[in-house]
């Protein structure tokens, strides 16, 4: 499994979070990432569509073999174990 992609995603999220905290402290909430996204959503409806399209692409269903590779059965067994633990009362 690729080790670069998870680190890239985590790094981007941390950088955005740090930047957002810094910009709110320096210039106020009006310049925050959230305020900018909301403002762009109102000014540019295509931005909202593209953001929805992008997140739909990222979270849409994929085949298990494309997500987990050959570990598909291991993942299925793990899910069943969690389901069993959550549904069976243990005294």
Give the start-to-end residue ranges of the domains of the chain: 1-60, 62-91
Separation of alpha carbons 32 and 23, rounded Å: 6
Q: Determine the distance from the C-alpha atom of residue 31 to the mean position of all C-alpha atoms in its chain, rounded to a whole number.
A: 23
DSSP string, 16-81: HHHHHHHHHHHH-GGGSHHHHHHHHHHH-HHHHHHHHHHHHHHHS---HHHHHGGGHHHHHHHHHH
Give the contacts of 75 (CB within 8 A, at least 6 positions apart): 64, 68
Tens digits of residue pLDDT in 11-70: 999 999 999 999 999 999 999 999 999 999 999 999 999 999 999 998 888 777 777 776
Considering the entire predicted model, what is its pTM? 0.64
């Amino acid at each position: 499994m690729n080790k670069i992609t998870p680190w890239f995603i985590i790094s981007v999220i941390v950088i955005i979070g740090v930047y957002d905290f810094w910009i709110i402290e320096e210039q106020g909430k009006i310049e925050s990432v959230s305020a900018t996204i909301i403002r762009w959503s109102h000014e540019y409806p295509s931005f909202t569509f593209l953001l929805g399209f992008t997140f739909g692409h990222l979270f849409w269903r994929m085949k298990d073999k494309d997500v987990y590779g050959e570990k598909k059965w291991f993942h299925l067994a793990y899910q069943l174990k969690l389901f069993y633990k959550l549904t069976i009362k243990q005294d």
